[in-house]
């Protein structure tokens, strides 16, 4: 019996338009952050300092731009692949508005400095809970739609959507465990090495399962659609799917090579990262070969042009990623701008261009009209491509050469560039070029906005598109078939198996790190932070210092020479959250404690160029005017005790007394340097923390630190 | 029971077994997938592959989509 029904185009349209809006905002914030690196005066007020808007940029482009684009494409393609309307319009709308409110909350709280201090997971716990709820709503809606489908088999795009949903749910929940201090502040459940491992298991798989698998699903739907021919090899897509989700989940530790993470975990991450080349390139070739015999159309159709560059960038980034996971290459590239270039090949190349292609394909169809101007779309394509090139190439150069400068020794065995800042100033030109590339790319996006507005004005939204399909007949008996044919009909089993696939990787990496005692050798001289230092550390996290400074001296001579003793796993056992960082725009800070007098930090935070002429670091005048909020001291110490930090039982009650004593000492120390400082200001806590970092190990008796 | 969980895997001895187990699982899944795609019927594969192109068509009846 043929059934008539309607596709819900409005929800796809809503997600698509909000994608464009948030994309523009996120890119603009990125552009501003890029300019702050060359013009530090742009750090006008505390809410827009680099350390606060860099997380805003990353969260906006990942969760607002790419996230909404995935939802737009998924809502459009799922209904058509399953021959049914979405399970519930109400859930679709809750999903839409809930997600936008979360983004709005992020846009407000991140500049206010409310952050958990873990990359791409910065949002504080109330927002984390909201994300979980909205994600579940999306899941119910998606699975509900699958259950009421009129097509027996699930197309490969849907598997990618399912794997995305289940894995992101798992990653988000595991990584976000935290103990709240108040509504806007919490401490990560994990500490030090374990926190680092969980975070990069999450961080890497956010790339894998938020930026890659959903977009592969979109690729498998929209590329054949735009090319009007089936995917090159459906068989390959099956292999692509299973091997990709199985291998990806393991690769996280490649973000932690040469760190204090146990060696076996590093090797495991590296091995699986290298293996990733195979499924990734299988997917890329599957995409590109879909166009075989149709390359003449690529010349004319801007949609296909965008898709070709997107898939090519996917191939480039996924070849580069495994290479960067090889320890000897990682030793050069890690902490440099090379990584920034790498992620932008993925971000603005793969994700960005796939979204643009999708926009140009979907908007005319949703509005029953033709694209306003192919010429403008082509112009956008070329501006975008030039933008990627101008963005990435200078940063590749910068990253490579800065790293070599860090490692360069004179024949007598001294560092050639003793002052870290000298290596930064050498690559400042690249930061300018990058900002230029970003500007070109953004201009292209603005042209797209104009084109879309014009297209929309010329047409009328087909909010409910008529469709018909026969009802799905109940199978009376199990027909003979292969296991995959079997699983293609059973979405719930598919979901469970995907979860099993991704959970194994996580469990094998994490459980031993948590349980094996020898993985984190204890260092008896490492003590918990004092209340003042704890406050200082929270300010360090709030200001996003980790976006430019690492706290991880790797065991290379070039690093021990520059910074001091390399970092040990046992030094971080009280670090909730860990602050190892992933990028050195400024020098590593793990051995900064007791390196300079208090007065140096005082002047440096007030005006970095006074101590380091030419410094690109923002000034932090608000630390000198804002009074430290000591009303939370007790709760913070109590939260730490809950997390297992060994403070004395009666310590929370005396915490503020202890804090006042330590503040007085720092004020007295500053006075010796001729500075009249106020003891109740945030800067005092900041100095206390900076002077403490990485110093405990120096007090260690020789035998304990083995 | 709790004792078992608490003191399990405190040392690194024998830890190599875990990655080996998971590798075996991964590799068998990979092999099964490989085996399946080799054996899957051509008409089924074609039906699956042409799905995105059949938005306006009726499903479940295998349309002949000539591969270019």
- Give the distance between the most distant pair of CA atoms in chain B: 64
| pLDDT tier, A483 (very low <50, low <70, confident <90, very high otherwise) | low
Joined together, the tokens standing for residue A354 give 């796939």
**pLDDT tens across A681-692, in order?**
999 999 999 999
What's the pLDDT score for residue A631?
Answer: 95
Q: What percent of chain A has pLDDT over 90?
A: 80
Closest of A80, A116, A191, A147 to residue A494, by C-alpha: A147
pLDDT band at A473 (very low <50, low <70, confident <90, very high): confident
How many other CB atoms are there within 10 angstroms of residue A52's CB atom?
Answer: 24
Nearest-neighbour CA in chain B from A82: distance (Å): 9
Residue-level pLDDT at A706: 39
Residue-level pLDDT at B63:
39
Q: Percentage of chain A with pLDDT > 70?
A: 96
Residue A487 has pLDDT above 70, yes or no: no
Please state, in angstroms and rounded to a whole number, the distance separating the CA atoms of residues A426 and B36: 55
Question: Does B18 sit within 8 Å of A508, measured CB to CB?
Answer: yes
Q: Is the pLDDT of residue B59 over 50?
A: no
Which residue from A411, A266, A398 is spatially nearest to A344, judged by alpha carbons? Answer: A398
**Residue A181 pLDDT class (50, 70, 90 cuts):** very high
* H and E: helices and strands count for chain B: 3, 0
Higher-pLDDT residue of A475, A271: A271
Angle between helix A682-692 and helix A598-606 axes, rounded to 10 deg: 130
- Other C-beta atoms closer than 10 Å to the C-beta of A141 total 23
Chain A contact set for B49 (CB, 8 A):
224, 230-231, 234
If DSSP codes are grouped into helix, strand and coil, which group holds residue B16? coil
Of residues A415, A395, A543, A488, the one with CA closest to residue A49: A543
Residue of B nearest to A219 (CA): B52
Which three-class secondary structure state does DSSP give residue A39? coil
Contact A153 B15 (CB under 8 A): no
- Cβ within 8 Å, pair B29-A242: yes
> Would you state the pLDDT for residue A486?
65
From start to end of A89-184, where are the E strands? 178-182
In this complex, do A239 and B25 lie within 8 Å of one another by their Cβ atoms? no
pLDDT mean over A72-84:
96
Rg (CA), chain B: 23
For the segment A454-468, the average pLDDT, to the nearest whole number, is: 94
Q: Is A7 helix (H, G, I), strand (E, B) or coil?
A: strand
Instruction: Examine the pLDDT at A405 and tell me if it is beyond 50.
Output: yes
User: Which pLDDT tens digit goes with each residue over A523-540?
Assistant: 889 999 999 999 999 999
DSSP class per residue in A82-145: HTS--S-HHHHHHHHHHHHHHHHHHHHHTTTT---SSTT--S-HHHHHHHHHHHHHHHHHHHHH
CA atoms within 13 A on the CB side of A371: 20
* φ and ψ at residue A391, rounded to 5 degrees: -75, -50
Quick check: A447 and A380 in contact, CB under 8 A? Answer: yes
Kindly state whether B39 is in contact with chain A, defined as any CB-CB distance less than 8 angstroms. Answer: yes
Mean pLDDT value of segment A609-634: 96
The gap from C-alpha A186 to its chain's centroid, in whole angstroms, comes to: 19
Over its C-alpha atoms, chain A yields an Rg (Å, rounded) of: 26
Q: How many CB atoms lie within 10 A of CB B7?
A: 10
What digits encode the pLDDT tens for the residues A564-594?
999 998 999 999 999 999 999 999 999 999 9
Q: What ipTM describes this predicted complex?
A: 0.77
Mutate to test the interface with B, among A163, A231, A242, A265 (most CBs of B within 10 A): A242
Are A322 and A277 spatial neighbours (Cβ–Cβ below 8 Å)? Answer: yes
Note whether B56 contacts A: Cβ–Cβ < 8 A.
Answer: yes
Find, in chain B, the residue whose alpha carbon is nearest to that of A488. B48
Residue A65: the pLDDT is 97
Mean pLDDT of A205-225: 94
Measuring CA to CA, how many Å separate A139 from each of A15, A100, A142, A166? 16, 17, 5, 8
pTM comes to 0.92
pLDDT of A383 above 50: yes
pLDDT of residue B8: 53
Terminal C-alpha separation, chain A: 76
Q: If you ran DSSP here, which 8-state letter would residue B11 be given?
A: S
Which of B9, B37, B49 lies closest to A239 in CB terms? B37
Pull the structure tokens for residue A99: 């997600």
Q: A98-152: per-residue pLDDT in tens? A: 999 999 999 999 999 999 999 999 999 999 999 999 999 999 999 999 988 998 8
Dig out the tokens for A516 from the structure: 């094996």
Mean pLDDT value across residues A278-297:
93
Assess B27–A contact: CB distance below 8 Å, yes or no.
no
Residue A551 has pLDDT above 90, yes or no: yes
Beta bridge pairs of residue A604: none
Minimal CA separation from B1 to chain A, in Å: 16
Whether residue B11 and residue A517 make contact (CB cut-off 8 A), yes or no, is yes
User: What would the DSSP string read from start to end of A435-487?
Assistant: HHHHHHHHHHHHHHHHHHHHHHHHS----EEEEEEEPPPPPSS-----HHHHH
Q: What confidence tier does B41 reach under pLDDT thresholds 50, 70, 90?
A: confident
Nearest to A243 among B30, B38, B65 (CB): B30
Q: Return d(Cα A304, Cα A223) in angstroms, integer.
A: 8
Where residue A194 falls (left for φ over 0; alpha for ψ -120 to 50; beta otherwise) is: alpha
pLDDT tens digits, A153-162 = 899 999 999 9
What is the distance of C-alpha A372 from the center of its chain? 35
**Residue B49 at interface with chain A, using a CB cutoff of 8 Å:** yes
Does the pLDDT value for residue B52 go beyond 60?
Answer: yes
Q: Spell out the residues 6+ positions from residue A108 whose beta carbon is closer than 8 angstroms to its own.
A: none
**What residues of chain B, 3 to 22, have a C-beta less than 8 Å from chain A?**
8-12, 15, 18-19, 21-22
Token pair for B44: 């089924």
**Shortest CA distance from A247: residue in chain B:** B26
pLDDT, average across residues B23-33? 81
Please say if the pLDDT value at position B57 is more than 50.
no
Q: Which residue has the tokens 């990485």?
A: A694
Average pLDDT of every residue of chain B = 69
Give the orientation angle of helix A234-248 with respect to helix B17-39, to 10 degrees.
170
More confident residue, A592 or A504: A592
Q: What is the chain B residue with the closest CA to A84?
A: B55
- What pLDDT is attached to residue A702? 55
């Amino acid at each position: 019996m043929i059934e008539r029904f309607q596709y819900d185009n409005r929800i796809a349209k809503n997600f698509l338009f909000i994608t464009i809006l948030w994309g523009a905002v996120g890119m603009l914030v990125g552009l501003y952050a890029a300019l702050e690196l060359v013009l530090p005066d742009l750090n006008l007020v505390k809410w827009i300092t680099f350390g606060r808007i860099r997380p805003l940029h990353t969260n906006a482009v990942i969760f607002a731009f790419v996230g909404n684009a995935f939802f737009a494409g998924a809502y459009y393609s799922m209904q058509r692949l399953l021959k049914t309307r979405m399970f519930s319009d109400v859930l679709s709308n809750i999903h839409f508005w809930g997600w936008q409110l979360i983004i709005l909350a992020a846009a407000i709280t991140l500049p206010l400095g409310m952050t958990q201090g873990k990359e791409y997971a910065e949002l504080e716990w109330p927002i984390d809970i909201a994300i979980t709820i909205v994600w579940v709503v999306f899941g119910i809606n998606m699975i509900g739609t699958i259950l009421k489908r009129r097509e027996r088999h699930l197309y490969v795009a849907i598997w990618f959507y399912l794997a995305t949903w289940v894995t992101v749910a798992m990653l988000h929940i595991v990584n976000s465990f935290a103990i709240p201090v108040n509504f806007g502040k919490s401490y990560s459940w994990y500490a030090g090495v374990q926190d680092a491992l969980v975070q990069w298991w999450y961080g890497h798989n956010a790339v894998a399962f938020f930026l890659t698998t959903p977009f592969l699903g979109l690729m498998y739907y929209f590329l054949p659609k735009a090319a009007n021919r089936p995917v090159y090899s459906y068989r390959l897509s099956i292999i692509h799917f299973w091997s990709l989700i199985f291998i990806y989940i393991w690769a996280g530790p490649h973000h932690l090579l040469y760190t204090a993470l146990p060696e076996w975990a590093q090797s495991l991450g590296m091995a699986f990262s290298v293996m990733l080349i195979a499924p990734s390139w299988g997917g890329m070739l599957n995409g590109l070969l879909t166009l075989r015999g149709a390359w003449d159309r690529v010349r004319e159709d801007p949609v296909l042009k965008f898709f070709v560059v997107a898939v090519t960038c996917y191939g480039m980034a996924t070849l580069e990623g495994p290479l960067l996971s090889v320890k000897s290459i990682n030793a050069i590239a890690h902490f440099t701008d090379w990584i920034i270039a790498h992620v932008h090949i993925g971000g603005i190349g793969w994700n960005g261009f796939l979204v643009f292609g999708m926009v140009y394909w979907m908007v005319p169809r949703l509005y029953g009209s033709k694209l306003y101007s192919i010429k403008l779309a082509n112009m956008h394509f070329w501006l975008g491509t030039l933008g990627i090139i101008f963005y990435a190439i200078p940063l590749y150069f910068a990253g490579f050469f800065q790293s070599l400068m860090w490692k360069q020794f004179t024949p007598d065995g001294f560092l050639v560039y003793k002052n870290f800042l000298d290596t930064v100033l050498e690559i400042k030109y690249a930061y300018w070029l990058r900002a230029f590339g970003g500007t070109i790319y953004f201009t292209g996006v603005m042209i797209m906005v104009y084109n879309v507005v014009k297209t929309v004005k010329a047409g009328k939204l087909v909010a409910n598109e008529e469709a018909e399909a026969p009802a799905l007949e109940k199978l009376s008996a199990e027909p003979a078939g292969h296991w995959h044919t079997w699983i293609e009909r059973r979405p719930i089993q598919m979901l469970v198996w995907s979860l099993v696939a991704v959970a194994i990787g996580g469990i094998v990496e994490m459980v031993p790190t948590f349980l094996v005692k020898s993985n984190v050798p204890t260092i008896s001289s490492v003590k918990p932070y004092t209340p003042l230092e704890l406050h200082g550390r929270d300010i360090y996290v709030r200001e996003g210092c980790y976006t430019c400074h690492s706290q991880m001296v790797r065991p290379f001579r070039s690093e021990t020479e520059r910074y001091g003793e390399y970092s040990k796993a046992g030094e971080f056992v009280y670090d909730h959250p860990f602050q190892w960082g992933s990028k050195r725009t400024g020098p590593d800070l793990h051995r900064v404690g007791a390196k300079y007098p208090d007065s140096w930090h005082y002047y440096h935070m007030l005006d970095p160029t006074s101590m380091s002429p030419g410094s690109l670091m923002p000034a932090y005048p608000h630390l000198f005017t804002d009074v430290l909020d000591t009303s939370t001291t007790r709760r913070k110490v109590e939260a730490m005790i809950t997390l297992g930090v060994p403070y004395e039982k009666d310590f929370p009650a005396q915490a503020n007394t202890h804090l006042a004593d330590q503040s007085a000492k720092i004020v007295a120390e500053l006075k010796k340097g001729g500075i009249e400082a106020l003891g109740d200001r945030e800067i005092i806590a900041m100095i206390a923390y900076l002077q403490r970092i990485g110093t405990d190990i120096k007090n260690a008796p020789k035998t304990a630190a083995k | 029971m709790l004792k078992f969980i608490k003191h399990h895997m405190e040392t690194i001895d024998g830890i190599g077994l875990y990655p080996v187990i998971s590798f075996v699982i991964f590799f068998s899944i990979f092999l099964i997938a490989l085996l399946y795609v080799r054996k899957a019927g051509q008409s089924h594969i074609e039906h699956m592959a042409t799905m995105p192109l059949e938005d306006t068509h009726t499903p479940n009846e295998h349309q002949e989509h000539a591969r270019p």
